[in-house]
Amino acid sequence: MNNKFSENLKKIRKDNNLSQEQLADELGVSRQAISKWESAVAYPEMDKIITLCEKFNLNIDDLLHKDIREVKGEEESKKNLNKYVDDFLNFITNTINMFSNMSFKSKCKCLFEQIVIGTVLLVVCLIIGTLGQDLLSGIFGVIPDKLYYILHSILHLVYGIFAIMSSVIIMVHIYKTRYLDYYEKIKKEVVEQEEKNEDDKILNSSDKDEKIDKKNKILFKKNEDKIIIRDPKHSEYKFINGLFKGIVGIIKFFTLCFSIILFVTLICLFIAFIISFLTIKTGIFFIGLLVAIISAAIINIVLILLLLNFVFNRKNDKKKMIWSFVISLIMFGIGCGLILVGTLNFEYIENDKEILKTEYMEIDMKNDLIFGYHYPEVEYIESNNNNIKIEYTINKYCEINHSELSDNVFHMWGSCDNPIKLVKEVINKFNDKKIVSINNHLKDVKVYTTKENIEILKRNYKDYTDIEVQTQNMINSYESRINELEQKIDEYAEKEWEYQEEINNLKDQIVMYQNDNE
């Protein structure tokens, strides 16, 4: 007789809290039959075995030839593993569904709360770890160093794993309690309300096709159906809410400041749009400039609207804004391309003789006069003039200025008191497709004087520049020496730190040696 069956039958009956009489009633046999089966005196018929397997969800081969508890344990472990996998996958699915149905503000609030909780847990773990390390140092300070470091490393690893796992479990539990469970509750309420509304509509409708269509309505498909997770009525953590509102307020303030910058930029673009009509004769360049400015202004307006809607909690017309932004980018690219093509036909003129003038000035000659320091490419020309006659070329819209001779150094420079004329000249040349270099620099500086005066001027200039060079070289030498000394100071400071570390290590070893001797 098969002893496995009799043992398994006893285990099944006891595991299900059944007496022999109760099991006999369920199988339609006498109590004595059950007793004989369990004592291996008799063996049931096949139909009774099949009934047992169906009733207790068993396999015939397992019931007759295997230990039923081992089989149940294996099945239970498989079920538990599958359950864990299913729970994990359901957790991810519910999280994705929840975030897809949350408003933007609720998403930010949820993420911010998780960051705050994670930071708090990190601080707590660090505090506990520091206190634990000090405690371990006091407890295991008497053991040898090698063993201490081994124990310290093992305990450090164990604590790190424990801290990470416990922190993750706490964060997931809080997240599930505050958000996922609440989301399921709200979703259930919304579904029930929708079903109720649909039932009311179906009852009031006479068109069967319309009823079927309404039954298939998709929930949460519109913006207004977005669920606001943890609204004020259900909020529990006032501190987190207040902190979140404060940070959002700061972000909105800086966003508003950036919007003001964009407003200024938009005003500048409008000004540039008006000014661009001054270049109307440039053809393709003018068209490209207009297109680029208009598209840049539209992009600017879209960004301003996005930022202001964020600051004042207004809804965005996403489709219009996206299309406006994309089309404006394309237009801006086309405008830049037209500008590039237009500039290929332009001519660059560095020194346009039409806007230059040649003038003269005369100064008295002195033996200590220094001239040409700011214009080393001065051309000296011998003449019978005992004083110094200076010839120079400058923009016709600029005037010449010069320094007094109180310090024996004569310096001259150009200044343009009427920049409007310069701008007008640039625009006129630009419309003629010419880019000219316009500035107030002196050009072609020439000095007319006697040979003796030329030699004096050159010698004075050389002596002056030599002093300047020597002074500059001395300054460079001192700066180099200062840099070297600063590097040495850094090296000494680093060595001091290393020596201090060695001293501290030696002190620790002395303390440990004294403790060992005691």
Dihedral of alpha carbons 439, 444, 449, 453, sign: positive
Residue 212: per-residue pLDDT:
39
* pLDDT for res 71: 58
The reported pLDDT for the residue numbered 211 is: 40
Which residues, in sequence order, are CB contacts of 259 under 8 Å at separation 6+?
A: 304, 307, 308, 311
Cα distance between residue 410 and residue 363, in whole Å? 9
C-alpha 358/C-alpha 445 separation (Å) is 10
What secondary structure does DSSP assign to 354-420, as a single string? GGEEEEEEEE---TT-EE-SS-TTPEEEE-S-SSEEEEEEEETT-EEEE--STTSEE-EEEE-S-HH
* Residue 230 pLDDT: 46
Structure tokens at 394: 């400058």
What pLDDT shows up at residue 10? Answer: 79
For residue 109, count CB atoms less than 10 angstroms from its CB and return exposed for 0-12, middle for 13-18, buried for 19 or more: buried
- Give the pLDDT confidence score for residue 335 in this predicted structure: 92
Mean pLDDT by 10 residues, the chain (518 residues): 69 79 82 81 79 76 66 57 71 81 77 84 85 73 69 80 84 80 76 70 53 39 44 46 68 86 92 90 89 94 90 84 91 92 82 80 83 70 87 83 70 76 80 78 85 86 75 81 87 86 84 74
Residue 141 to residue 152: CA distance in whole angstroms: 11
Closest by CA to 332, choosing from 289, 284, 279, 268, is 289
Q: Please give the C-alpha separations between residue 249 and each of 4, 146, 256, 310, 312, in angstroms, as whole numbers.
A: 74, 55, 10, 11, 11
Query: Phi-psi bin for 220: left (phi > 0), alpha (psi -120 to 50), beta?
Result: left
pLDDT of residue 163: 84
CB 12 within 8 A of CB 44: no
Rounded-to-integer distance, Cα 321 and Cα 298, Å: 10
Torsion-angle region of residue 408: left (phi > 0), alpha (psi -120 to 50) or beta? left
Amino acid 270: pLDDT:
93
Q: Would you state the pLDDT for residue 327?
A: 93
Reduce the secondary structure of 275-324 to three states and give it as a string. Answer: HHHHHHHHCHHHHHHHHHHHHHHHHHHHHHHHHHHHHCCCCCCHHHHHHH
How far is the C-alpha of 363 from the C-alpha of 373, rounded, in Å? 16
The Cα–Cα gap between 440 and 424 comes to: 16
Q: Which residues of 32-43 are buried (b: 16+ CB within 10 A; e: fewer)?
A: ebbebbbeeeee
Greatest C-alpha distance within the chain: 152
pLDDT at 140: 65
Element (DSSP H or E) covering residue 463 = helix 451-517
